Every structure is written in structure tokens, then in C-alpha cells.
Amino acid sequence: MLLPAGSLRRAVFLSETEMSEIDYSPDMIERGRLMFARPFLFTKGCVRIADLPPMDRVEIAFAGRSNVGKSSLINALVGMSGLARTSNTPGRTQELNIFESQSENLRIVDMPGYGYAKAPEDKVRTGPS
């Protein structure tokens, strides 16, 4: 993707309050939309590093505190309401859930949230190992 020098950097480093859609051209917004356009398929849930797929494509991982809406955001981006499981209960996602685009060289990783987990203490302590 060819962008005018500095245009992407400017968008990335603007603070949240300064950021607006004006900083992105309609063409960039459309490219972003198409990047996540369905179909994505659930590949697997990884509990061990050894389970992770090979680093053979672009990977975008969503990390953040429990229950902030990581899985909901993935579903909204992809336009598939049931792809990533969402929950009212914090700490439900306890694996690295892998989703792969069927049309782009792109992988999404839905990560377990940090801060709270309703899981056995040993699993909370170690996480994916």
C-alpha cells in the first residue's frame, strides 16, 4: 500500500481527542474496511505457545483489560456478530483465539483480558505458557 510520506504516522500519533475521521481519506477508510471484510474463520484457541500458528502472515492482536469490548470490536470490524465470543462475565476468554481471513493474508488474535479472570488460580497465574 503506497501512502504519502508521513500520512500514516500522523494518524497513528495523534492523541485520541485530536483524532477524527478527517485525518483519514475516504480511500484509506475504505481500504481499512476491506482489510477486515469477512469472511474470517475461527482457526483455533491456543493455550500453549507451541500451539500458535507459524508467523507466516500479518497478525493483529487485540489486547486490553477484561470486559472492555475486545471481542465485540473484532466482530464489529469483521461484520460477523458471532465470530469472537463475547460475554458479560469478565475473564471468559482464557485462550489466544485465532481467526484467519479467507481472502487476505491476515490473522486476528483475540487475547485473554488482563485485570480479572474467573478461572482456576493456576490458570490465571500462568496464562498461555
- Where does this chain bind Mg ion (CB under 5 A)? 70-71, 93
Nearer residue to Mg ion within complex by CB, 100 or 109: 109
DSSP string spanning 57-126? SEEEEE--BTTSSHHHHHHHHHT-TTSS---SSTT---SEEEEEESSSSEEEEEPPPBS---S-HHHHHH
Residue pointed to by grid coordinates 487485540: 62
Question: Looking up cell 480479572, which residue turns up?
Answer: 116
Q: Using the rule CB under 6 A, which residue among 83, 108, 113, 117 binds ligand GDP?
A: 113
User: Which CB sits closer to ligand GDP, 28 or 123?
Assistant: 123
Of 70 and 107, CB closest to ligand GDP: 70
Cβ of residue 37: shortest distance to ligand GDP, in angstroms? 20
Tell me which residue has its CB nearest to Mg ion.
71
Displacement of CA 27 from its chain's centroid (Å): 22
Give the footprint of ligand GDP on residues 67-96 (CB under 6 A): 67-72, 86-88, 93
Sheet holding 58-62, edge to edge: 40-46, 96-101, 106-110, 58-62
Smallest gap, in angstroms, from Cβ of residue 39 to Mg ion?
Answer: 20
> Of 28 and 68, which CB lies nearer to ligand GDP in the complex structure?
68
**Residue 82: Cβ within 10 Å count:** 8
Work out how close the CB of 108 gets to ligand GDP at its nearest, in angstroms, rounded to a whole number: 12
